[in-house]
């Protein structure tokens, strides 16, 4: 046998013996890795699991933008092909009872998480507690008192989407949810999961279409009723006929069929905050891979920062008080980030780390 071949066989055998005897990968002991580049030990076993209450959204490419006519003549959402990486998304909007777990952590339990900067009760009430008065304030000459009095705290509304939270409250909820989950995972020796956050506008639209490229609505085209005449979402079907879809105001989550990704109420019920700043010209400006628009005028870290410019955030999906145009997957609108509305809620997303094996989706 050739001497070089014999040498290679001996080296492979010696490496196998060293590995079996625990000599390789012991970077913490001097000489334990025999001077070889073997990486840092103790980092094995990471698994990207699906978070509770979320569904996986596979990576893909779609045409972001208008899926039908533009009756408002906004010209702010021309079609653009965009690629989205895989991520996870809450299957429903965050409910009153889910948000109550968040509020109780600060106001009832006085909880704390190592490494997470908490806030005092008074600051929390002012900044993050739902603004129940929005039910009266948002609509002129409206008997909203019963909704204001019961919507958030009564168990009859536990499964309804939370409203009256501004963009900052939705972001802080995601930060708390991340710390809350990873604090538990640390206690059982698991690696931390990626952060919960608001979905970008592109992620939201991609998820809303449910794999149906150019679809007008999450369920497809082109109608808002099924073959039996039943409404497919909670919105304002006619001029004042709010109850035609079965609910005068918002509805419990999962009251209507999900889209093909398993997401409920991507159209109607309550509108949803997105991560992006709003700009009518942002679509042709952003990159075509996982785009997110950040307005330099409202970003304190930007040289173009102007504190007099009120920050606007993208709102998508339409709500119980909107006409069908706002339910379309391609319709863009906005709200000021510090606004609390009786028709705007949110859901969280989480980035999927690494390439999918295909089994998650």
- For 7-61, the pLDDT digits (tens) are 444 444 444 444 444 444 444 455 578 899 999 988 888 888 999 999 999 999 9
CA distance 343 to 318: 9
- Furthest-apart CA pair in the chain: how many Å? 97
Cα(144)–Cα(149) distance, integer angstroms? 9
What are the strands, taking DSSP E only, across the chain?
54-57, 60-64, 80-84, 87-90, 196-197, 271-277, 312-316, 333-336, 344-345, 349-351
Domain-located, residue 142: yes
Output the pLDDT for position 7: 45
Listed in sequence order, the residues at least 6 apart from 353 whose beta carbon sits closer than 8 Å to its beta carbon are 48, 194
Per the structure, the complete domain to which residue 66 belongs is given by: 53-349
Read off the tokens for 114: 């190592």
Q: What is the Cα 241 distance to its own chain's centre?
A: 31
In a domain, residue 5? The reply is no
What gap in Å lies between CA 161 and CA 97, rounded to an integer? 9
Residue-wise pLDDT tens digits, 100-124: 999 999 999 999 999 998 899 999 9
**CA distance linking residue 94 with residue 112, whole number of Å:** 22
Distance of alpha carbon 158 from alpha carbon 240, whole angstroms: 26
Residue 356 pLDDT: 63
Judge whether 209 lies within some domain: yes
CA atoms of 310 and 355, how far apart (whole Å) = 39
- Decide if pLDDT at 340 tops 60: yes
| Beta carbons of 215 and 221 less than 8 angstroms apart | yes
CATH of the domain at 157: 3.90.1580.10
Confirm if 191 and 46 have CB atoms less than 8 A apart: yes
pLDDT the model gives residue 64: 95
Lowest mean pLDDT among 20-24, 101-105, 285-289, 353-357: 20-24
Q: Which position has the higher pLDDT, 238 or 273? A: 273
The pLDDT of residue 358: 57
| Number of domains observed in the structure of the chain | 1
Residues 6+ apart with CB under 8 A from 249: 147, 242, 320
Tell me: pLDDT of 80 over 50. yes
Model pLDDT, residue 239: 85
DSSP three-state, residue 334: strand
Residue 243 has pLDDT above 50, yes or no: yes
Q: Is residue 18 a part of any domain in this protein?
A: no
pTM to 2 decimal places: 0.89
pLDDT at 357: 57
Q: Mean pLDDT of all residues in the chain?
A: 90
User: Which is it for the CA torsion 36, 37, 41, 47, positive or negative?
Assistant: negative
pLDDT on residue 66: 86
Q: State mean pLDDT over 244-258.
A: 96
Q: Is residue 150 assigned to a domain? A: yes
212: which 2 tokens?
A: 């149906």
Tell me what pLDDT residue 324 has. Answer: 94
């Amino acid at each position: 046998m050739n001497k070089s071949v014999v040498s290679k066989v001996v080296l492979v055998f010696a490496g196998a013996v060293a590995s079996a005897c625990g000599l390789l990968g012991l970077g913490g002991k001097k000489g334990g890795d025999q001077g070889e580049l073997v990486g840092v030990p103790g980092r094995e076993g990471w698994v990207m699991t699906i978070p509770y209450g979320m569904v996986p959204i596979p990576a893909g490419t779609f045409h972001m933008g208008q899926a039908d006519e533009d009756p408002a003549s906004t010209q702010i959402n021309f079609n653009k092909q965009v690629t989205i990486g895989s991520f996870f998304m809450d299957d429903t909007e965050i409910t009153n009872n889910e948000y109550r777990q968040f509020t109780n952590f600060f106001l009832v339990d006085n909880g704390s998480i190592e490494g997470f900067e908490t806030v005092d009760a008074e600051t929390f009430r002012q900044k993050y507690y739902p603004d129940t008065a929005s039910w009266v304030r948002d609509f002129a000459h409206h008997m909203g008192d019963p909704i204001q009095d019961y919507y958030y705290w009564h168990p009859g509304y536990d499964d309804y989407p939370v409203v009256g939270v501004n963009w900052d409250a939705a972001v802080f909820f995601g930060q708390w949810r991340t710390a809350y989950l990873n604090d538990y995972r640390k206690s059982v020796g698991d690696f931390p999961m990626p952060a919960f956050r608001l979905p970008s506008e592109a992620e939201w639209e991609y998820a809303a279409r449910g794999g149906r490229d150019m679809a007008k609505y999450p369920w497809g085209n082109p109608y808002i009723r099924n073959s039996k005449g039943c409404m497919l979402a909670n919105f304002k079907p006619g001029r004042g006929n709010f109850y035609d879809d079965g609910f005068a105001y918002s509805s419990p989550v999962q009251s209507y069929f999900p889209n093909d990704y398993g997401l409920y109420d991507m159209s109607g019920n309550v509108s949803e905050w997105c991560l992006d700043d709003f700009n009518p010209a942002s679509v042709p400006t952003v990159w075509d891979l996982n785009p997110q628009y950040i307005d330099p005028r409202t970003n304190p870290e930007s040289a173009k920062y102007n504190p007099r410019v009120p920050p606007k955030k993208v709102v998508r999906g339409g709500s119980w008080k909107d006409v069908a145009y706002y339910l379309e997957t391609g319709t863009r609108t906005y709200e000021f980030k510090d606004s609390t509305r009786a028709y705007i809620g949110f859901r969280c997303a989480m980035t999927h780390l690494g390439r999918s094996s295909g089994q998650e989706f």
